Amino acid sequence: MQFRDIKAQYQTYKDEIDSVIQEVLLNADFIGGKQVGELEAQLAEYVGVKHCISCANGTEAMTLVMMAWGIKEGDAVFVPDFTFFSTGEIVSFRGATPVFVDVDRETFNLDPVKLEKAIQKTIAEGKLIPRVIIPVDLFGLPANYPEIEKIAEKYKLLILEDGAQGFGGNINGKRACSFGHAATTSFFPAKPLGCYGDGGAVFTNDDDLVHLLKSLKVHGKGDDKYDNVRIGVNSRLDTIQAAILKVKLKAFIEHELEDVNKVYRYYNERLSGVVDIPVIPDGFYSSFAQYTIKLKNKEQRDGLQAKLKEQGIPSMIYYSKPLHKQGAFANLEFDKNDFEVANELSDVVLSLPMHPYLRDEDVNTVCDVIKRYMVRNFV
């Protein structure tokens, strides 16, 4: 059993994918081929925003936005404590200070109440200027944008949606990657919409931001690539990856997103009352980058992971270390007691095999092992 079966997906679309790759090879337009612009237009339409700008990966997508917004030393950027390292890294990379905020125990996402407290504390201390909030759509579930947007407005902060795991989710029909002033996603192979290498994109309705992003991703270009008006980077999505993504986006829209939600419902049916299952609030829809359960404590979680492994079932711990515990952030000042939930989650979460091609019998196999383990060890 695969944790995320990218091979099964390829087998399903092999002819189409092989042929679009072949087309790029024959045309040899590896950089900036027509597929890149076509994909950007399709992604923007699907997400429901005016612009999509593709780039090299999800981390760089966020960095580009930070650069365009002029985020720098002395600025505070609020990020969830429970996320992939990248979300905090891009803040420090610009010389600004990430302010970690605890998350909600049920949704794993940024806790709006604790977010407002962190903003107020930062203002009261007076050392940093609050500038941006980066909510993360963890495991595919959009963050609580209705509440976060109110807070951003109150304190005049920008929102960057980190939708690296969130592509395909929605809140009452409004799609992930359309929230905030800008949003980003990643096409890393294991994400909800993945390519066959690295890739990423920025989404926004802001024309001025688009103008800056298009310059920054091409060495700060002015009129053309050899007229450079600012310091930028080189960040682009290869034509081959765009061609592959066009095929995969169609599959994603036609059935994959629905199929992964079917797997979610079947898992829930089998595991409800056995372990803590994912909670999707009313009106929210997840793209299930991960199906993450919670156990009672670290011992129980680690024991279950070992038992699954024994049976040849892969599982992952996302994330075993909250950001505030990462060595790279050891220089930052914070109160360890502010991260009660993130600390707890890192001990009790376990992500199970999850993808649109997972069969009912695979779910049964996983759940049978979990049920046997729970009955034997913890009644």
Ligand X SMILES: *Cc1c(COP(=O)(O)O)cnc(C)c1O
Residue 53 β-bridge partners: 202
CB of 58 to ligand X, least distance (A): 3
Shorter beta-carbon distance to ligand X: residue 245 or 304: 245
Choose the stretch contacting ligand X; rule: CB under 6 A; options: 120-128, 149-157, 159-167, 328-336: 159-167
Alpha helices in the chain (DSSP H): 6-27, 34-47, 58-68, 86-93, 112-125, 145-154, 207-216, 239-251, 257-271, 298-310, 340-348, 360-378
Shorter beta-carbon distance to ligand X: residue 84 or 284: 84
Please report whether residue 58 would count as binding ligand X according to CB under 6 A: yes
Please report whether residue 54 would count as binding ligand X according to CB under 6 A: no
Q: Given candidates 180, 200, 232, 353, which one binds ligand X under the rule CB under 6 A?
A: 200
CB of 165 to ligand X, least distance (A): 5
Rounded CA-CA distance 53/162 in Å is: 15
Please report whether residue 83 would count as binding ligand X according to CB under 6 A: yes
Please report whether residue 66 would count as binding ligand X according to CB under 6 A: no
Q: Provide the terminal-to-terminal Cα distance of the chain, rounded to the nearest Å.
A: 28
Choose the stretch contacting ligand X; rule: CB under 6 A; options: 41-49, 65-73, 161-169, 260-268: 161-169
Residue whose CB is nearest to ligand X in the complex, by number:
58
Please report whether residue 188 would count as binding ligand X according to CB under 6 A: yes
Q: Given candidates 63, 86, 290, 300, which one binds ligand X under the rule CB under 6 A?
A: 86
Q: 3-class SS at 172?
A: coil
Please report whether residue 292 would count as binding ligand X according to CB under 6 A: no
Between helix 145-154 and helix 112-125 the angle, nearest 10°, is 20
Rounded CA-CA distance 118/99 in Å is: 8
Torsion angle of the four alpha carbons 140, 141, 143, 145, in this order, in degrees rounded to the nearest 10: 110
CB of 168 to ligand X, least distance (A): 14
267-286: contacts with ligand X (CB under 6 A): none
Q: Given candidates 9, 35, 54, 57, which one binds ligand X under the rule CB under 6 A?
A: 57
Q: Who contacts 368 (Cβ-Cβ below 8 Å, separation ≥6)?
A: none
Residue 284 β-bridge partners: 171
Please report whether residue 245 would count as binding ligand X according to CB under 6 A: no
Write the DSSP assignment of 230-291 as a string of letters: S---B----HHHHHHHHHHHHHIIIIIHHHHHHHHHHHHHHHBTTBBPP---TTEE---S-E
**Chain-centroid distance, C-alpha 310:** 30
Q: Given candidates 35, 54, 59, 122, which one binds ligand X under the rule CB under 6 A?
A: 59
Please report whether residue 167 would count as binding ligand X according to CB under 6 A: no
> Residue holding tokens 């989404």?
203
CB of 229 to ligand X, least distance (A): 27
CB of 83 to ligand X, least distance (A): 5
Please report whether residue 136 would count as binding ligand X according to CB under 6 A: yes
Please report whether residue 165 would count as binding ligand X according to CB under 6 A: yes
Choose the stretch contacting ligand X; rule: CB under 6 A; options: 16-24, 84-92, 232-240, 300-308: 84-92
* DSSP code, position 103: B
Residues that bind ligand X (CB under 6 A): 57-59, 83-84, 86-87, 136, 162, 164-165, 186, 188, 198, 200
